């Protein structure tokens, strides 16, 4: 067993073994949930470099990786392009409908999908998918629905922790690490 | 009783039952109190996406929702417009006088008003209204006047925690959550 | 005795009673010490609204209030103008020489001056003045020279905590608070 | 023994005694690892003023000081120029090859080099050099390879803590501090 798996339960590891797609919310997951404006009318958003490092390896391991968000911004488009995500759906009012679309497009079953969200709009997806996750600073009633609470706060590497876990559960993390020596 | 109510006292819950209006300060409540300037003369301010999510539901439940602040910025105007607040009073030197105006305009009694503030300029409003609140990182002598100290720091979802509490005390939170499944 | 004084020693309170001037470093005291640049060549700096609230009352109580910093930026000039400081000396290479100048100009003795700094360049001033202070996140060897370690981190209201303490030690804080009811 | 050395082991201090070069990663070490974009297409990055203060003294003591990063930005170039680093290599895909180049150019042996990194791309350098370090918020499997885990988080003065330690181990810190009185 890969060493980072010690902190997870057998049930969580079993769920992670089936995952072929990692989907996440943006504000509060990829970011710290701050909505930042300038007096001159610009907007600012911060992501985490550690999330980017692992997304590259998810893609190399043929995972479907994408983002669904209720808001809309060119910043998110820029960051998601940089991360070479399979998809980014912005301005999504009903995430549930969007998930059906994704499932069909990529031929995914519910238990092959992992989802990370932090607010009420994410509740149904967290409950529905095979591995529903929420960051430590999500609302209590959102974390209550999650199969796994990520120990990082939004924007501090939530996707990294989730992806490291999934890759380790599937026995793929050690060989990634070894490739860097 | 809705589950998030466990951490509140009966006196706090009783106060929350009467509330029909949620009013708050901006800097240090909606934001983390940072005043951010750029060398080029611009200004930057950060809000929290989680506050926005619940304000929509306060409005749907016919609460009066608004902000009163001593400072003034286009950024605050933009965020408050996005949140569709009933009012935002900027550049307010005497918040007490402004509260009288609001009470009259919306036909509100003191015990129907909740107010969140974090500094000396907020002291009289916190003391006067039915449910006076301050975030955990407010000055000690401000928190000492509050009926309820919010566990979040300014900018980390203070309005969300206050609104969730009020909606739960009035038996309205569970049905909001259920609508997302 | 005003209630916030409980956490201070008699020696600290005695030192605070003589103070007529509060002088502070900028980066790491008024700010969190972050040096922030944009790709387009702009610079960004964040201050704390709570520091501003109390500086107004220091001035109303005839304190000399000013900043000395080794760096230089229009942002600091803007914030200090907004705070109506008596002076802001930027680009100061030798703070010790600058302190002599200030002492002479305002007719101040060493034990009438309080100074807040967080790094090696502040060591001599912290040691020399009547009330030398450093924020909790200053270097250990800087805090070791301070008469008082402020519990806030730089940018989180360090000047506020220092000023509240000095005003309370001089019996002036309660009447300030009372004026807000 | 200089007082800050108490928290380090003899093995760590022995490693630090040989160091003649301090090399570090940028994102997650000099910065908090945030990738920040604006809607208008600009990018923002934050450094720490405390890192800058000590780099000046490393140079005065004839250390080779430089940065190697996989990403690329004018902001990093600006900050590194300000810090007068001996080198900054951006857009570096293989840090191991770059280290060989540096070793040759500056006539350095592995046990004379200290390196600070926080992610998988830094693993081989942390393992290879005489004093490999990682900040407290680095990935667990990165910290596991480090000779020393720095107690600061990325962007909070990681280089400062590392440099203070190396200078103290070599008996050079006290005289630096004394020069400020």
pLDDT tens readout for residues B90-100: 999 889 999 99
Q: Is the CA virtual torsion B163, B165, B167, B170 positive or negative?
A: negative
- Output the pLDDT for position A100: 96
- Give the H or E element holding residue C104: helix C95-106
* CATH class as words, domain C2-178: alpha beta
User: In this complex, do C36 and D47 lie within 8 Å of one another by their Cβ atoms?
Assistant: yes
* Cα of A104 to nearest chain D Cα, Å: 32
Q: Which residues of D touch C34 (CB under 8 A)?
A: 46-49, 155
User: In this complex, do A35 and B49 lie within 8 Å of one another by their Cβ atoms?
Assistant: yes
* Cα of B144 to nearest chain C Cα, Å: 11
**Chain A: which residues have CB within 8 Å of chain B?**
27-28, 33-42, 44, 71, 118-121, 123-124, 127, 137, 139-141
Q: Residue B142: CA atoms inside 13 Å, Cβ hemisphere, count?
A: 25
* Closest residue, chain B, to A31 (C-alpha): B49
Minimal Cβ distance to C33: which of D4, D42, D50: D50
**D128 alpha-carbon distance from chain centroid:** 15
Structure tokens, A143: 């974390």
Rounded (10°) CA dihedral B150, B153, B156, B162: 10
**A134 exposed, middle or buried (CB, 10 Å; 0-12, 13-18, 19+)?**
buried
Q: Which residues of C touch B27 (CB under 8 A)?
A: 49
- Output the pLDDT for position D2: 73
Minimal Cβ distance to A42: which of D34, D35, D40: D40
Minimal Cβ distance to A33: which of B50, B79, B180: B50
- Tens of pLDDT, residue by residue, chain D (181 residues): 578 999 999 999 999 999 999 999 999 999 999 999 999 999 999 999 999 999 999 999 999 999 999 999 999 999 999 999 999 999 998 899 999 999 999 999 999 999 999 999 999 999 999 999 999 999 999 999 999 999 999 999 999 999 999 999 999 999 999 999 8
Q: Which residues of D touch A78 (CB under 8 A)?
A: 37, 41
- Output the pLDDT for position D26: 98
* Closest residue, chain B, to C173 (C-alpha): B141
Coil, strand, or helix at residue B34? strand
How large is the angle between the packed helices A10-17 and A158-169, nearest 10 degrees?
80
What's phi and psi for B43, nearest 5 deg?
Answer: -130, 150
Calculate ∠ Cα D32-D35-D99, nearest 5°.
70
Q: Which residues of A touch D141 (CB under 8 A)?
A: 3-4, 177
Q: Which residues of B touch C3 (CB under 8 A)?
A: 141
Q: How far apart are CA C10 and CA C94, in angstroms?
A: 32
- pLDDT < 50 stretches in chain C: none
Extents of the domains making up chain B: 2-178
Q: Which residues of B touch A127 (CB under 8 A)?
A: 181
| pTM exceeds cut of 0.90 | yes
DSSP of A80-149, one letter per residue? HHHTT-SEEE-S-S-HHHHHHHHHHHHT--GGGEEEE--SGGGHHHHHHSSEEEEETTS-HHHHTT-SEE
Q: How far apart are CA B28 and CA B35, in angstroms?
A: 10
Q: Could you tell me which chains touch chain D, where touching means 3 or more CB pairs under 8 A?
A: A, C
Closest CA to D27 of A42, A75, A51: A51
């Amino acid at each position: 067993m890969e060493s980072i798996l010690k902190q997870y339960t057998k049930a969580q590891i079993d769920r992670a073994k089936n995952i072929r797609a990692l989907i996440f919310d943006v504000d509060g997951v990829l970011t710290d949930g701050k909505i930042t404006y300038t007096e001159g009318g610009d907007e600012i958003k911060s992501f985490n470099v550690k999330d980017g490092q692992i997304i590259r390896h998810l893609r190399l391991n043929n995972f479907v990786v994408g983002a669904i968000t209720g808001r809309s911004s060119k910043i998110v488009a820029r960051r998601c392009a940089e991360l070479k995500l399979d998809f980014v759906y912005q301005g999504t009012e009903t995430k549930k409908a969007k998930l059906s679309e994704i499932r069909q497009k990529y031929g995914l079953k519910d238990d092959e999908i992992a989802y990370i969200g932090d607010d009420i709009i994410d509740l149904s997806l967290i409950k529905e998918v095979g591995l529903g996750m929420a960051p430590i600073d999500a609302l209590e009633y959102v974390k209550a629905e999650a199969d796994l609470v990520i120990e990082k706060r939004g924007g501090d590497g939530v996707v990294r922790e989730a992806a490291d876990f999934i890759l380790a559960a599937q026995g793929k993390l050690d060989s990634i690490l070894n490739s860097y020596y």
